[in-house]
Structure 1
C-alpha cells in the first residue's frame, strides 16, 4: 500500500539543509509539498495595519517561485493553497489519503495554534516536527526553562555543537497529482509576474540567499563586522542575511558553518565572534517566543509593568511616514518604507523614539515593523520591541536613546539624513491633542534636539 506524506512549508522555504524534507522523502512513496497563503493575511490586524507590505509580498513571491524551481530539480512541485492551513491541508489529506504531515517547528503563537488545531481536526494522522529554523534542537537545549536573560542563555549554549548543514536531496518522491495541474499561479493580491529588478538589493529565495552568503564571506567584511555593524547605511556594513533567514531561504546552520569555515581560513577575531553572538541573539528570541507564547504580543509583555502611554493617532502616522521633529528618525523610517530594510542601529533609534519621545504603545511600532520589514521574524521583531520598551527580558528596563547623541555618533555630517531627504525645520510634534482638539502653534514647544 502506497504511503502518502505531506510537507507543509512555512519558515523553511528551501531544499538545502532541510532535514525534515529529507526525512519525508526517505519514508513515503508519494509526497505533497504545500504552502498556504492564508486569506486572513489580507485583513488589517488589530492595529489597523496590513500584515504584509507590497515589498514583503514581492519577496515572499520570489521565495516561493525559487522554491518551486528547486523542488522541480528533485522531481517535485510546490502547491500553493489559497486557504487557511487547517482547511487546505485537511482537504488534501482527505483527497490523497495522507498518513503523515511534516513541518519545521515554528515559534509563532498563531502558527503553533494552527498546528494543534490540525491535529485535533484529523486525530488519526501522524504529525512530525523538527528544528530547522534554529541553531540547536529542542532536545539538546541544556535547560527546561529559558534563562531570564540573554547573558545567562549565552553562557549555557555558546559552546554547544551545531549540526552540520545537509545538501539538497537529489530526488524526492513524486507528487500524487499530475504536475500539469500544479501551475504556480498567484491570486490577484500578489503582484503579477515580472523580471527581477537588478536595482533592488533583496530578492527572495534560496538561490539569492546563498549567493549573498557566499559573496559576504568572500568579501572579507566579516573580519570588520564589529566596527561596521552600527552604520546606518551601506550594503557591506552588515551581513544582510536576515531577510533570507526569516523566510528560511537560508539555514542558520549553514550561516554558522560558513562562519566557522571563514574563521578557519582567515582567522577568528572579535568581529567574527560578534557575528556568532548575533546568531545567538536570534536563537534566544526564537526560544523566547516558544517560552512565552501569546505574551509576546501583550501590552505588559512578560512583566507586570504597565507602560505609560497615550495614543495619538497623528504622532503614530508621522512616525510611520518619517515626518516627526527628529531628522534621524525620519531618515530611518523613510529608508524602511522605501526598501523594506533598516539597520539594527536604526531600528533601535526609531523604536526608542516611538516609546519615549512620542510616548506611544510599543505594539503599534512592532506591528508597523511587521508590515514593512522584509526580514520580519515574529520572535526577533516582537522580542526586540519588548526588550526596548522595558516589558521584556532586559534587566535594565526601558531603553531610551538620546537622539541628538545618536545623530552625532552615527550621522555626524548629516549625510544619511540628507540622502533620505529627512531634514525638517521646527516641526511641532502635534497639531491636535489626544482628543483631536487643535493645538495652538504659538504654544507648541519645539522638541527638536539641541
Structure 2
C-alpha cells in the first residue's frame, strides 16, 4: 500500500516554484491537497476588526479557483473545507489514514501555534515543513536568527546569497485521495468586483509578471513608486505574494533577467531592495514572536497614546480633518488596496495626529488590505509607531507637506472624495462625553 500524504495549503497557492509540490511529484504516494477556510477569519477580533474583509475574501476565492483548475490539469484535485483548521485536519488525517502531513513553514506566531497543536493531536503522522514564503532558507542566513540585525541596513549588506527557484517535474502529480469530507466548498461561483485592483490566482500572477517586465516599467520604478495613484507606478506584486500565487524568488529572478536582457539601473535595484525589506520583516517576525503584536513592540516602554473611538471611526471612515488621509481611507475601503506612500501617511496620521493605539490601525489594515502580510503589516506599523526596527524611533509624516508634494493639484483627493466628509474639528465630544 502506497504512502498517504496530506498537503495543507496556506499561503502557497501556486504550482510554479513550489518546493513542496516539486518533491511530491517524485513521490510514490496518494496525495490529498487541502485548504481550510477558518470561520474566525470573518469574525471580529480583539480590535473589533475581521482578519478577512470583503476584498481579501474575493481575492482568496479567485486564487483557490485558479489553483484548483491548474491541479485538475495535472490529474490532481483541491479540497476546500471550512472549519477550525486543527479540528478539520485532525479528523481528515484520521479518516484518510494519512501517514505524512506537509505544509509551508510560516513566520506568524499564531500559525506556528496552530501547527504545534495539530502535531500534538496527530502523534502518529509525520510532519514536514518547508519555507516557501521567503527568498532564503533559514539555513542560508549568514547569522543565527537570534543575531538578526536590529535594523534593515546591516541585514541588506549581509545578504549576498544566490537565489534559486524550484521546478515542478513535467507530468502528473501523485494520484489524488478521492474520499472527501462532507460539504466541500464550491469555488466556481466566485464573483468579480468592479472596484478590484487585481484578480487573484496563479495564472493572473504570471500574466502580471510577464506584462510588468515586458516594457519600461521596471526601469522607472524608483521614480514613480511614491505616487499615490496609478496602477503602473508600482509593481503591484504584493497581493499575489501575500497569497503565494507567485513567490518572492520568482519576482527576484524576473528582475535579474530584466537586468541581464534590458537594463540595470537604480530602479531595478530598488525592486530587489524592496523584496529584501519584505524578507527582513519575515525573519524579524519569526524572531519577534508574539512581541510583533505587543503594544510596546521591541521597546522597553509603552508609547504614550490613548483610545478615542470617535477618532478611530473617523479615520476608518475617511472623515478626519485631513482631506488627503480621508481620500486614502476611501480608496482603501473601496478597493482593498492603497500605495505604500498612502499607507505611511495614513498610519502616521493615526499614531501622531490622532494619538491612537497603533494596533487598531494595524488590525484595520489586516481586515481591508488584499495584500495583508503579517510580517510586513505589523512590522511596518511598529516602525511608524516607534516601537519597531526603525533606529530613528518612529516616523511622523507632515500631512500638509505630503499633500503639497504628492497631490498638489488635489487630483487624488478629489478622485477619492477626500473633502466630502471632512470634519472641521478632531473631536465632537470632550473628556466627559459632552458635545463640543
**Could you tell me the TM-score, scaled by structure 1's length?**
0.93
Structure 1 residue 179: Cα displacement: 7.9
3-12 or 138-147: which moved more?
A: 138-147
Question: Which residue in the other structure is 1:437 paired with?
Answer: 434
User: Which SS does the other structure have where 2:11 is aligned?
Assistant: coil
Asked if the contact 1:16–1:169 (Cα under 8 Å) also holds between the matched residues in 2, the reply is no
| CA deviation string 1:344-369 (max 9, x = no partner) | 00000000000000000000000000
Asked if the contact 1:165–1:254 (Cα under 8 Å) also holds between the matched residues in 2, the reply is no
Asked if the contact 1:310–1:434 (Cα under 8 Å) also holds between the matched residues in 2, the reply is no
350-359 or 144-153: which moved more?
A: 144-153
User: Which SS does the other structure have where 1:129 is aligned?
Assistant: strand
Residue 381 to residue 169, structure 1, CA distance change in 2 (3 Å): farther
Q: 1:153 aligns with which of 144, 148, 155?
A: 155
Please give the alpha-carbon distance, in whole angstroms, between the structure 2 residues aligned to 1:179 and 1:297.
37
Residue pairs, 1:239-278, within 5 angstroms: 239-278=235-274
Question: Which residue in the other structure is 1:140 paired with?
Answer: 140
Please give the alpha-carbon distance, in whole angstroms, between the structure 1 residues aligned to 2:44 and 2:407.
35
Question: Which residue in the other structure is 2:176 paired with?
Answer: 175
298-307 or 225-234: which moved more?
A: 298-307
Please give the alpha-carbon distance, in whole angstroms, between the structure 2 residues aligned to 1:73 and 1:184.
20
User: Which SS does the other structure have where 2:211 is aligned?
Assistant: helix
Please give the alpha-carbon distance, in whole angstroms, between the structure 1 residues aligned to 2:138 and 2:180.
36
Residue pairs, 1:30-429, within 5 angstroms: 30-144=30-144, 145=146, 146-157=148-159, 159-167=160-168, 170-177=171-178, 184-185=185-186, 193-194=189-190, 196=192, 200-423=196-419, 427-429=424-426
| CA deviation string 1:358-415 (max 9, x = no partner) | 0000000000000000000000000000011000011100211111100011011111
Asked if the contact 2:22–2:167 (Cα under 8 Å) also holds between the matched residues in 1, the reply is no
Asked if the contact 1:285–1:379 (Cα under 8 Å) also holds between the matched residues in 2, the reply is yes
| CA deviation string 1:82-131 (max 9, x = no partner) | 11121111111111111111111101111110111111111222111111
Asked if the contact 1:311–1:434 (Cα under 8 Å) also holds between the matched residues in 2, the reply is no
User: Which SS does the other structure have where 2:176 is aligned?
Assistant: coil
Please give the alpha-carbon distance, in whole angstroms, between the structure 2 residues aligned to 1:263 and 1:344.
24
Instruction: Identify unmatched segments of 5+ residues in structure 1.
Output: 187-191, 440-450
Residue 434 to residue 361, structure 1, CA distance change in 2 (3 Å): farther
Asked if the contact 2:79–2:180 (Cα under 8 Å) also holds between the matched residues in 1, the reply is no
Please give the alpha-carbon distance, in whole angstroms, between the structure 2 residues aligned to 1:4 and 1:56.
32
Please give the alpha-carbon distance, in whole angstroms, between the structure 1 residues aligned to 2:250 and 2:186.
31
Structure 1 residue 195: Cα displacement: 5.4
Asked if the contact 1:7–1:24 (Cα under 8 Å) also holds between the matched residues in 2, the reply is no
Please give the alpha-carbon distance, in whole angstroms, between the structure 2 residues aligned to 1:309 and 1:168.
54
Asked if the contact 1:312–1:433 (Cα under 8 Å) also holds between the matched residues in 2, the reply is no
| CA deviation string 1:229-261 (max 9, x = no partner) | 000000100000000000000111110111100
Structure 1 residue 80: Cα displacement: 1.1
Residue 353 to residue 3, structure 1, CA distance change in 2 (3 Å): same
Structure 1 residue 52: Cα displacement: 1.2
424-433 or 27-36: which moved more?
A: 424-433
Structure 1 residue 272: Cα displacement: 0.5
Asked if the contact 1:67–1:205 (Cα under 8 Å) also holds between the matched residues in 2, the reply is yes
Asked if the contact 2:62–2:190 (Cα under 8 Å) also holds between the matched residues in 1, the reply is no
339-348 or 87-96: which moved more?
A: 87-96
Please give the alpha-carbon distance, in whole angstroms, between the structure 2 residues aligned to 1:168 and 1:404.
55
Please give the alpha-carbon distance, in whole angstroms, between the structure 1 residues aligned to 2:432 and 2:382.
27
User: Which SS does the other structure have where 2:127 is aligned?
Assistant: strand
Instruction: Identify unmatched segments of 5+ residues in structure 2.
Output: none
Please give the alpha-carbon distance, in whole angstroms, between the structure 1 residues aligned to 2:425 and 2:315.
13
Residue 17 to residue 123, structure 1, CA distance change in 2 (3 Å): same
Please give the alpha-carbon distance, in whole angstroms, between the structure 2 residues aligned to 1:138 and 1:241.
23
Please give the alpha-carbon distance, in whole angstroms, between the structure 1 residues aligned to 2:170 and 2:352.
50
Residue 83 to residue 184, structure 1, CA distance change in 2 (3 Å): closer
